[in-house]
Structure 1
Amino acid sequence: MKLTVEISKYPLADDYLGPIKGFIDELNKDSELKVITNTLSTQVFGDYDDVMAALQRCIKWSFERYGKVVFVCKFLHGDLSPEQD
């Protein structure tokens, strides 16, 4: 099953760019996923199990490294990446 996730991260710190970039860099380490980033959010596309495992790993990593942050996610069934149009 394919999954699309739109995720936004809001670090509860004055220096917010580093934690956001760090999270995106961690997501991009997973070669099974397609990751598209823009100024408002990051979209992640791939197999359900791969996407969920990567999110679990990256969110935990982010909490451990940066402390308190807020994640806002939207989960959509299917691959809605631009190439699928």
Structure 2
Amino acid sequence: MGSKNIGIKKDVYERLKAHKRGDESFSETLDRLIHERESDWRTNAGFLSQHEADDLEAAVEQGFVDLNVAFDEDGTRIDERLSEEP
């Protein structure tokens, strides 16, 4: 079977490399990743309405806010415990 050379950005190369298994070649990795998908990625493009996409984006952003608050609270408690005298 013949081969083709393609140019990809360095960050894409690094992401692809991270998906390689053992001695798997890049061709084998790409083939596996493509076949693991149940359908063509373009089939699902646009499956959310704009309203649903906006709601999802807002929920994700709120999740990050909540996570930051939780980390700040945990950090404060840890600082308080560490500053207590034995």
| TM bin (shorter chain) | under 0.3
Taking structure 2 as the reference length, the TM-score comes to: 0.24
Higher alpha-carbon Rg: 2
More contact order relative to length (CA 8 Å, sep ≥ 6): 1
Which has the larger helix fraction?
2
Which has the larger strand fraction?
1
